[in-house]
Amino acid sequence: MVIGLFEWILLSFICFAAALGAVTLLTLGNRRKPDAPPPQPPLIEDDQTWLFDGAQLIQATPSSRHQAGAGELPDSWDSLRSALVARFPDFPDSQDQVSTSRGLRLTAKTPGDPGVLEFEWLDSLLRVRLIDDRRRKIEANLTRALRDELANLRNTVNRLPYPIWRTDDAGQVTWSNAAYNRLGREMHREGEVQAPLFPTPALMPERDSTRRVAAGRPDAGPKRWFDVTAIPDEHGRLYFATNVDAVIEAENAQRNFVQTLAKTFAQLSIGLAIFDRRRQLALFNPALVDLTALPAEFLSARPTLLTFFDRLRDQRIMPEPKNYSSWRHQMADLVAAASDGRYHETWSLPSGSVFSVSGRPHPDGAIAFLIEDITAEITLTRRFRSDLEQGQAILDRLDDAIAVFSADGHLTVTNAAYRKLWSVDPEMSFAETSVIEATRCWQKKCRASPVWGEIRDFVELRENRSDWWAQVQLKSGESLACHVHPIQSGAAMVVFSRITTDVMASAMMQPHLDQPAESRLMAGR
């Protein structure tokens, strides 16, 4: 069979197409399909690594994402080169410049920059790895700093004098500091199972709270008191305990002191009412109930200060105010005066009783009012004053001039005849009149006589004194009989009388000034 030219041409074309198809299939078999999973070459997680299939980036480590800026991952050879060429100027323009046998190793341009860029072929894939010792040093320093900070925190927590511990949701202690462990050793006997020091689940029913609880066994001596604060978190609860034994002791001492004061106040005859800084009755004693006749139930209800005084006014235990519209202002003035310690008044009640009321400031803004029944004292004072006035009236009715000197030599009593005779009123003088000043006054209106010196000596004597008399003469020529008498408590009385027959008869019974002083003293024994 003879083959023509056309058949030869057709046969040649078929052979060429078959060869071309075989080459194409072989090439496609050697290349990875785009949608096939990429190979998994070993990558160094601590370094930034990129894996290229041709110019296409197919895999990269997470730490290499920031090289393209704005958190984007370089997606091609050109984008990675653009990101690193400033640091590595010799970054190859294409992958063909990387040797298939030895790869490529580049160092950073800047002196002191330890960065190294390595290029390595893995079959048909090219791996680019950035080895940066600075990052490793930073991470090492950060790890060391975190380790030091953790050690410092542990040391600080374990040195705290306050117990700290953590529990899970079931209430089991999962962590505790040294103070908690030390407290546990103190509270439990050696060898016994250490139970939780505080009943924390029952202690803290609320989510976040602070409670005061006692720790310790009943047979381990006095309990130890703590203020325990619970802070919830996602892992359970964190507890902090502060020892308040000193606070408990102070509260007990204060309570005992208040009880002692209450017992003492109960024995007082003075009514006591103490109002706190909110002006509520905080403390009163039984004498206040007796004096004011206010019900104990009313006082126990802790009335306010204004309510207390309103009730006193209703009970007519205090003077009726002249103007009810200004009552509140008067009470405000009363409180202000009591706060400064200036309030002190005497209440004369319609019943005839007399109360002495005073206000005193107390610490922390409190005010104490003391109500004392001084009716007996006032009655005695009034009676004494009445007796004095009556005695003075009797003296003023006498014709003789009388002067009484106290033991210290001051003029204390005179009568109307004395003031008329000597034209002087000692009561009008602010200063006390001494015996020297009195005798000088007498001497000015009389003729010279040794009597005045004798009177001064007599007043200054304290014992061995007796009655005596002498005759003195006024400058007007009138004669007076001067009688000197010792009286009780070292006092002395001088009486000036106009000379009459009766006066002379009485005077003759007493030693005369002309007698020797020794005989006058003997007469008084």
CATH of the domain at 297: 3.30.450.20
Lowest mean pLDDT across 43-47, 394-398, 503-507? 43-47
Strand partners, 346: 356
pLDDT 10s digits, 449-479: 999 999 999 998 878 889 999 999 999 999 9
In a domain, 16, yes or no: no
Q: Give me the DSSP letters along 58-74.
A: EEE-GGGGGGGSTTPPP
Domain range enclosing 263: 253-373
Clarify whether residues 475 and 505 are in a common domain.
Answer: yes
Contact of 470 with 512, CB cutoff 8 Å:
yes
In order of 8, 14, 299, 425, the CA distances from 22 in angstroms are 21, 12, 117, 158
Quick one: which of 213, 189, 216 has its CA closest to 201? 213
- Local structure of residue 188 (DSSP, 8 states): S
Clarify whether residues 456 and 505 are in a common domain.
Answer: yes
**Final residue in a domain of this structure, among 317, 342, 373:** 373
Contact of 330 with 318, CB cutoff 8 Å:
no
Contact of 521 with 466, CB cutoff 8 Å:
yes
Clarify whether residues 309 and 360 are in a common domain.
Answer: yes
Domain count, the chain: 4
The whole-angstrom separation of Cα 316 and Cα 297 is: 19
Clarify whether residues 294 and 179 are in a common domain.
Answer: no
Clarify whether residues 257 and 342 are in a common domain.
Answer: yes
pLDDT 10s digits, 385-438: 999 999 999 999 999 999 999 999 999 999 999 999 999 998 888 889 999 999
Q: Does the pTM exceed 0.75? A: no
- 33 has a pLDDT exceeding 80: no
